[in-house]
Amino acid sequence: MKVLVIGLGGVTNGGKTTLAKRLRKQLPNCSILAQDDFFKPESEVEIDEHGFKQYDVLDALYMEEMVTSIRSWMKNPTGSSVSTAESKSTPVNLRSTEEVHILIAEGFLLYNYEPLNEVWDRRYFLTIPYEECKRRRSTRVYQPADQPGYFDGHVWPMYLKHKREMEENTNNIVYLDGTKSEEDLFSYVYNDIMRELEAWKK
């Protein structure tokens, strides 16, 4: 049995969850783990000098628990608590391969936490421009709700900061244009993963 761990990172509202769910439906034995599930309670999240809750930083997340969950899945994907959806169909060219299990970990801060950098087989990162990101963010409802000025005062500056750090310290990231259609993004990533699985057979 082989396991493939895929990172699907990127900017807030970049399309990570939508893409992950589409991939799960089409890839064999595919599970999703969401970084958002590891946020600390609101009472434990720091507040900066402007009164903004510091959600877009690693300290707002139980990252050790996330690493533990991924490593637990890697050891025993069929017995893990990470959810798996049945694929609609297993691609013909995979049916003859030995059993493979795929985990897609999706989140906004996947590549800035050193202990996670050892687990990825593939890394993707979705980007969208400032104006589009702000527009999409304004249509979403969060708990707790975004404060006035929160996007410009915290969310976007933290995204740029962490993206710079990621680019300085991490290699082998495939950047994806989140303004492309869902179909184009799915097709590109799906085919890239399939090529990876095919390479394992050789």
The pLDDT assigned to 4 comes to: 95
Active site residue 36: yes
Query: Length of the chain in residues, anyone?
Result: 202
The pLDDT assigned to 144 comes to: 80
The pLDDT assigned to 80 comes to: 64
Contact present, 155 and 53 (Cβ < 8 Å) = no
Residue pLDDT, tens place only, 113-170: 999 999 999 999 999 999 999 999 998 888 788 889 999 999 999 999 999 999 998 8
Residue pLDDT, tens place only, 2-22: 899 999 999 999 999 999 999
The 10 Å CB-count burial string (b at 16+, else e) for 52-64 is: bbebbbeebbebe
Is pLDDT at 24 greater than 50 in this prediction?
yes
The pLDDT assigned to 86 comes to: 47
Whole domain around residue 143: which residue ranges? 2-201
How many domains are contained in the chain?
A: 1
The CATH number covering residue 31 comes to 3.40.50.300
Q: Does the CA dihedral 102-66-48-148 come out positive or negative?
A: positive
Whether the full predicted model's pTM is greater than 0.85, yes or no, is yes
Residue pLDDT, tens place only, 80-104: 666 544 444 455 455 444 589 999 9
The pLDDT assigned to 78 comes to: 83
| Residues contacting 187, CB < 8 A, separation 6+ | none
The pLDDT assigned to 143 comes to: 79
Tell me whether strands 173-177 and 2-10 are parallel, antiparallel or unpaired.
unpaired
The owner of tokens 């509202």 is 13
- Looking at 36, 48, 59, 192, which residue is catalytic? 36
